[in-house]
Chains A and B, each alone.
Chain A
Amino acid sequence: SAVISQKPSRDICQRGTSLTIQCQVDSQVTMMFWYRQQPGQSLTLIATANQGSEATYESGFVIDKFPISRPNLTFSTLTVSNMSPEDSSIYLCSVSRTGAGELFFGEGSRLTVL
């Protein structure tokens, strides 16, 4: 298993501002991912956080809007830039140790944009 800590757990932000979400894992992992869980909608993969290189974004997500850092094998950040109310969502960090499909998730960061 993996113990994943996310900060902040929740926040209320003003339109146009940016927020950085941190994800800390209790041990080194190869793969880290960021998901978005919108109310009444699916879990959507935003990007794969790659250690030492640029993140790999899924269709519909761009680096300017969701810059991601991964300085080492236990830590990653996701920034939601120039926020709008449509960005209100739960953002989830997840990791995989084996690549075999078992993901461990953080508790999520609930973001509300006014």
Chain B
Amino acid sequence: AQRVTQPEKLLSVFKGAPVELKCNYSYSGSPELFWYVQYSRQRLQLLLRHISRESIKGFTADLNKGETSFHLKKPFAQEEDSAMYYCGINAGGTSYGKLTFGQGTILTVHP
């Protein structure tokens, strides 16, 4: 079965500093990886997915199959980036459409 690990429950950085939210997964096949974000008093929403290889709000994430990682990075953090971030995996097959999430990381960006 697939599994996602986010080792940091809390992450604090100062505005303008680089930030990296770690995500590791275990799955024997070819997974699809996602990052979801939940801002204060808002619903959970998709931030980005690995297959689109895009940058959203300055965030990027590269799938590293060798290290089974999908870390989320931003070179210069902003205060509005403060939120809860979840890494998720779609295993496909009979699990198609379902996402398994990690424990989540609360990012706080200080002024």
Q: Name A's B-contacting residues (CB within 8 A).
A: 30-31, 33, 40-45, 48, 92, 94, 96, 99-108
Give complex CA distance A31, B98 in Å.
Answer: 9
Write the nearest CB–CB distance from A3 to chain B, whole angstroms.
Answer: 10
The 8 Å CB contact of B44, one of A44, A48, A92, A96, is A92
Write the nearest CB–CB distance from A46 to chain B, whole angstroms.
Answer: 11
Write the nearest CB–CB distance from B107 to chain A, whole angstroms.
Answer: 15
Give complex CA distance A108, B44 in Å.
Answer: 9
| In the complex, chain A residues whose CB is within 8 Å of the CB of B45 | 104-105
Q: Name B's A-contacting residues (CB within 8 A).
A: 9, 32, 34, 36, 43-46, 49, 86, 88, 90, 96-104
Determine if B102 and A33 form an interchain contact, defined as CB atoms under 8 angstroms apart. Answer: no
Determine if A101 and B49 form an interchain contact, defined as CB atoms under 8 angstroms apart. Answer: yes
Give complex CA distance A42, B87 in Å.
Answer: 10
Determine if B44 and A42 form an interchain contact, defined as CB atoms under 8 angstroms apart. Answer: no
Instruction: Name the CB-closest residue of B to A47.
Output: B98
Give complex CA distance A48, B94 in Å.
Answer: 12
Write the nearest CB–CB distance from B108 to chain A, whole angstroms.
Answer: 15
The 8 Å CB contact of B104, one of A42, A92, A99, A106, is A42
Contacts A33-B98, A92-B44 given: A43-B34 contact, CB under 8 Å? no
Contacts A31-B97, A99-B96, A102-B49 given: A41-B90 contact, CB under 8 Å? no
Give complex CA distance A99, B99 in Å.
Answer: 10
Instruction: Name the CB-closest residue of B to A4.
Output: B43
